[in-house]
Amino acid sequence: MAAETQNLENVRKMLAIVKQNFSLLENDVDELKQLSHSGTLDPSFCIVKKADVEKIRRETNLMKKMIPRILQDGIACQQANLSTQRDLQLAQCQNENNFQEIQQWKESYESMIAERDQHRQECLHLQKDLNETAQELTQQSEYCASMGAACATLLWRVSRCEESIQAILSGSKVEQFLALVSSTLLSYVTACATKTDPANAPSDPEDLSEETHFVLALSGVVTNIAASSFGRNFLMSNEHGKHLVDAYLKILAEAPDDECADLKILLLMCLYNISINMKGLKYLQSQPDIISLMTWMVRESKRNEVRQHSLRIIQSLLSDENCANSLLKQAAVLLDDNLMK
């Protein structure tokens, strides 16, 4: 702004000097005219041709005309410079604001990077802890399965004695034990049913998992309990015992034949032992689908032991003359349905 003011001041000074010189020149011309008329000439003056004076006058007039244009062009140029300077100042301010905003975003980005790295480290630590916990859980699960299989196997062997069965059933945890057997077998069968390749089931008992040993041992304990008259009567007099029988029937219907053949044999042996008891026989005969289930197992099972124990249960169910007729009717209906198919 100060530079523009200085330029305008210089132009004004030049214009004043031009006007002053022009006035002096006009005075000199007037004096020359007077001297030319008087016939005397001052030695300090010189004679100039009229054509030169006209030329100077034309140039002076031309300068008068050109000076406003020059001034106007200069002012326009100065105004353009002022506008450019204002735009430059605005651009500089905008650049400063943008730079500050960039710095803020940069700081925010660096903060987020640091926070992300911190979260990543925390996730790595959590993943490490999770892996360690999963490993510990697996070890504990294997230990519990191994210990459960060992304890259940020992209990299975102990339950072969009549006196041991009475001691077992006289305890305060019998109902919890029966509920545990029911839930464990159902969970095991559900897990076996969801396997995609049942052909991979081990045929050698030594290749069975600890979980399978545990399940078979629990089933063997209940089978031995049902083998005694006291145990059969206890199971059929207890609601948990009846629920266990219901669970056995459900497991026999849903368990895969290849993977759970040994389990089915133990369950069928238990049901046959229960059918020896009058209460047990009536309870089994009250099950509407038991004949169809046993018939299906005789027809579809690949294990001879399964078919044999299924036939024994059918024979036991038909031994009661009061219920034999109704069961035979059910068997006839099933036979007719199979023939129609």
Query: pLDDT for 159-174, tens place per residue?
Result: 888 888 888 888 778 8
Please name the residue that has the structure tokens 């005969």. 285
Higher-confidence residue: 76 or 148?
148
Task: State in Å, rounded, how far the first CA of the chain is from the last one.
Answer: 109
At residue 300 the predicted structure's pLDDT band, cuts being 50, 70 and 90, is: confident
Q: Measure the CA–CA gap between 248 and 183, rounded to whole angstroms.
A: 11
pTM assigned to the model: 0.60
Q: Tell me phi and psi for residue 31, to 5 degrees.
A: -65, -40
Predicted pLDDT at 161: 87
Tens of pLDDT, residue by residue over 44-96, are: 666 667 777 777 778 777 777 777 776 677 677 777 888 888 888 899 999 99
The token pair that represents 216 in the structure block: 């078979």
Residue 39: the pLDDT is: 54
Rg (CA), the chain: 59
Report the chain's mean pLDDT, rounded to a whole number: 81
DSSP H or E segment with residue 170: none
> Which of the four pLDDT bands, split at 50, 70 and 90, describes residue 13?
confident
Whether residue 312 has pLDDT greater than 70: yes
| Residue 292: pLDDT band with limits 50, 70, 90 | confident
Residue 180 confidence (pLDDT) above 70: yes
pLDDT at 148 over 50: yes
CA distance 176 to 244: 11
Over residues 3-17, mean pLDDT: 69
Give the Cα separation of 86 and 94 in Å (integer): 12
- Residue 331: what pLDDT? 57
Backbone phi, then psi, for 113, in 5-degree steps?
-60, -45
Does 199 score more than 50 pLDDT?
no
Q: CA-CA distance, 37 to 165, in Å (whole number)?
A: 167
pLDDT range class, residue 198, cuts 50, 70, 90: very low
Quick: pLDDT tens for 202-259. Answer: 444 444 578 888 999 999 999 999 999 999 999 999 999 999 999 999 999 988 888 8
Does position 43 have pLDDT exceeding 70, yes or no?
no
Task: Give long-range contacts, CB 8 A cutoff, 24+ apart: 273-277.
Answer: 273/223, 273/226, 273/227, 273/232, 274/226, 274/232, 274/235, 274/236, 274/245, 275/313, 275/316, 275/317, 276/232, 276/316, 277/229, 277/232, 277/233, 277/236
Q: What is the mean pLDDT of residues 289-296?
A: 87
- Report the SS3 class of residue 320: coil
